[in-house]
Amino acid sequence: MSGELIVQTLKGPTSGANANKVLVPGGHTLDAGQGTLIPSEGGVVQVATTGTTTAVYWTSSTWTDPWRPTFTPKYSDSTLHFSVSLNVLNEASNTTDLWIGWRGLNGMYCYGFGKASLSGWNQNNNAITYSAPAGITTQGELWIQLRGNGSTSYLNYNSGNGSARSTVTMWEVR
């Protein structure tokens, strides 16, 4: 049997074990693939992860942006959350400065995470969480900029094993 049911509001019962729920029985699917399913406030809309294994090094104190991951939010009133994991190596006891910002392709900027200094001769996997506030969510790029302070610095340095990787996970929350 097939047909079309047109309703404005679908509600579950207001009392009992399944109060305020609309249940879909096992073996059945509620398919919203042809329409729009709007998540509730605080719900995750989408998650995307991207990474790079490209090794980059620099010796100057000038800011360099070796990697710009892009992301396209689905809603203009969402908040964007980024978890940035960078494999950074600095020579000697010098530091590498880090700066992260969101640049919407419509020209809007958000500089929510200022500078940080990452130090050490050993390779560090530095996890940073950055949140862009609601209202700036247009397609854009996460700018990851780094600069050295007196010695050579590396992103994704590896000693021949090819395992160095930096990643960004992006969440859009409604």
Q: Is residue 8 part of a domain?
A: no
The CATH number of the domain where 157 resides is what?
2.60.120.1340
**pTM flag (> 0.85):** no
Q: Is residue 144 part of a domain?
A: yes
Using a 10 angstrom Cβ sphere, with 0-12 exposed, 13-18 middle and 19 or more buried, the burial of residue 23 is exposed
Residue 125: inside a domain: yes
Give the pLDDT of the chain (174 residues) as one tens digit per residue.
677 888 888 888 899 998 988 888 888 888 777 877 777 888 898 999 988 888 888 877 787 888 888 888 887 777 778 888 888 777 766 677 777 777 766 555 555 444 556 665 555 555 566 666 666 556 778 778 887 777 777 888 776 655 678 888 888 888
Q: Is residue 7 part of a domain?
A: no
Number of folded domains in the chain? Answer: 1
**DSSP per position, 38-72:** PPPTT-EEEEEEEEE---EEE-SSS-EEEE--EE-
How far is the CA of 115 from the CAs of 39, 83, 96, 147, in angstroms?
A: 34, 16, 10, 10
Radius of gyration for the alpha carbons in the chain, expressed in angstroms and rounded: 22
What range does the domain containing 87 cover?
A: 44-173
For residue 14, is it within any domain?
Answer: no
